Amino acid sequence: MASTDAEPTSSSPKEAERPPIEPLRMPTVEEIRGQDIWNNCVVRSAVSGIMGGGLGLFMGMFLGALDNPLMQEEMSAKQQFIYTAKQMGRRSWGSAKTFAVMGLVFSAAECVVEKARAKHDITNTVAAGCVTGGAISAKGGPKAACMGCAGFATFSVLIEKFMDRHT
């Protein structure tokens, strides 16, 4: 007589699809040092400021190239080229400064708030946006600083939601 206790010879389809379990790899000393350096608020802010300045430089060049002289019909091609080059330079330098300050202040504020709260959530983004908007528009007075705070905080939250960083 045949035995009914026989083990099945084929495995289920779900077991066959599972990838093999890989061993956990511990980070190297260099990787830990790199993370420690990047988690430093000064380093993070400086990098954000430099990257913001670079972005502002390119945006200024692009927008400066779109400026048309008022008396375009009366200018020669050489004069139009010189005018456009000067506009690109002015716009680039102004945009680079603005974006560098914006990146530096936002990153520094977010990092400091995150370290103080010991949390990584949307509240840090709101606080950093408020500080950045207020600082950039502070020259316009208290009302402008409040509007800048509210506007930049809202913009920062919208960008965070769009990027889906904090779920």
| Burial status of residue 153 (CB atoms within 10 A of its CB: 0-12, 13-18, 19 or more) | buried
CA distance linking residue 88 with residue 57, whole number of Å: 9
pLDDT tens-place string over residues 93-120: 999 999 999 999 999 999 999 999 999 8
pLDDT tens-place string over residues 46-92: 999 999 999 999 998 888 877 776 666 778 888 888 888 888 888 89
Q: Per the structure block, which two tokens stand in for 46? A: 């400086």
* pTM for this model (two decimals): 0.73
CA distance linking residue 21 with residue 5, whole number of Å: 30
- Mean of pLDDT over the chain: 86
Q: Are 56 and 99 in contact (CB under 8 A)?
A: yes
Q: Are 104 and 96 in contact (CB under 8 A)?
A: no
Question: What pLDDT band is residue 15 in, cutting at 50, 70 and 90?
Answer: low
CA distance linking residue 133 with residue 150, whole number of Å: 7
